[in-house]
Amino acid sequence: MFFASCLISFLSVRVAAEYPWTFDNDLFGGPDFWGLVNKHWRMCTVGQMQSPINVDPGRLLFDPGLSPLVIGHQHVEAELRNTGQLPIVTVNESSARFDPNSESLTVVPRIVNITGGPAAPYNFRLHHVMFHFGRIRDNEKGSEHTVDRVRFPAEIQMLAYNSDLYENFTQAMIQPKGLLGVSVIVDIGDQSNAELRKLTVASQSITYKDAVTTLPRFHPVELMPKTINYVTYEGSLTYPGCYETVTWVVMNNPIYITKDDLAMWNDMQQTEQKQPNPVFMSPNYRPLKPLNNRLIRTNINIRQSNAATSGSCPSNIYLNNGYRSNPLKVRAPNRSAGARHARRASAEDDVYDEAYVASEAALGTSIESF
């Protein structure tokens, strides 16, 4: 079956049965151990351009050459699967249609291209969409990227491969300029994004590991927020083997989901069938990684916005253009309510401090130029 083989081909996860892994850092196989359990995942431990990162609004570099990101508006057939670690939508890149003239089935390409912005001059073909979320019953947030050290309830990540340079995702994920990751933050609202609502309903049929459901008319562009603003940096996959081949684009506005709908995603389990003591999938995010002198570019004209807001600092400009970046006004910094991820909060504080110091020399002069 296309979907099964496609999923196996792209996710080193499926090297899997031999090398089980998890997002739970209190277990062997958690993020701190990824680089130790499989030699092909060594980059998870030694890599210097790892993801996710904290986006510090005060340290963004405006790049006037960054155009808006353009995502195709096609509806595509796709498959939603519970991998045990996270739910993944895999796009079927071709569909069979009956041709009445030849009385035969014809394979018709069904692709969604992503172009513009940091993707230029290449075309990137959407391959899969991943969902990261916290444990709403424990008040734990689940986005992988944070903004001004604030974690959000969930994050949707669209992964696309460079179809101009490479034949498929498997080839592209280990090669330069191979992948594009589009990150959409998900926040709590009074009404869920319509496309996300459809996926939420579909998720109820994949509660257990390896469960699958078909999405006949998946519309990826409808998961995008109504903004052209974003930040971008060079990073990695956030699951094993952590290949540093991803250009990340973090959109500057969220989409929304209701608390009840987010709780439905929390029903997903890591086990293959109902157990007396269920092991839930959430939270399923990788801890933050150091910036290590990488630049975070943006298409938000900080100088222009600064003049319009009477000399506001870049952090406030970012607030005015998208996320409210002040955790004291919006929400407290994430702290795990349970033991499962108890070490994350303090560890991520250390990562943030290291990243800030490491990037000071590289970014300080450039920021002052604004």
Distance of alpha carbon 361 from its chain centroid, rounded? 28
Tokens of 355: 């990243």
Q: What would the mean pLDDT of 182-195 be, rounded to a whole number? A: 98
Of 9 and 158, the one with more pLDDT: 158
SS3 24: coil
- Helix residue spans in 40-177 (DSSP H): 43-46, 169-172
Q: Is the CB of residue 242 less than 8 Å from the CB of residue 216? A: no
Q: Hey, which residues does 104 pair with through a beta bridge? A: 99
Nearest Cα to Cα of residue 199 among 144, 247, 250, 130: 130
Residues 109-141: tens digit of each pLDDT? 689 999 999 999 999 999 999 999 999 889 999
Q: In whole angstroms, give the CA distance from residue 224 to residue 166.
A: 26
CB atoms within 10 A of CB 239: 24
* Interval 55-65 mean pLDDT: 93
User: DSSP class of residue 288?
Assistant: P
Residue 220 pLDDT exceeds 80 = yes
H helices of the chain, in order, are 2-10, 34-37, 43-46, 169-172, 194-203, 259-265, 302-308, 314-321, 344-368
Give the SS3 label for residue 260.
helix
Annotated catalytic residue, options 19, 122, 161, 166: 166
Q: Which residues pair with 297 in a beta bridge?
A: 61, 232
Q: Please say if 166 is a catalytic residue.
A: yes
Region 136-150: mean pLDDT is 94
For the ranges 149-153, 254-258, 313-317, the lowest mean pLDDT is seen at 313-317
Which pLDDT score is estimated for 26? 87
pLDDT at res. 345: 52
Report residue 105's pLDDT band, with 50, 70 and 90 as the boundaries: low
Q: Which two tokens stand for residue 137?
A: 């019953």
Query: Residue 102 — pLDDT band, cuts 50, 70, 90?
Result: low
At residue 344 the predicted structure's pLDDT band, cuts being 50, 70 and 90, is low
Closest CA to 95 of 112, 78, 80, 82: 78
> Which domains does the chain carry?
2-17+48-368 (3.10.200.10)
Which pLDDT band holds residue 313 (cuts at 50, 70, 90)? very low
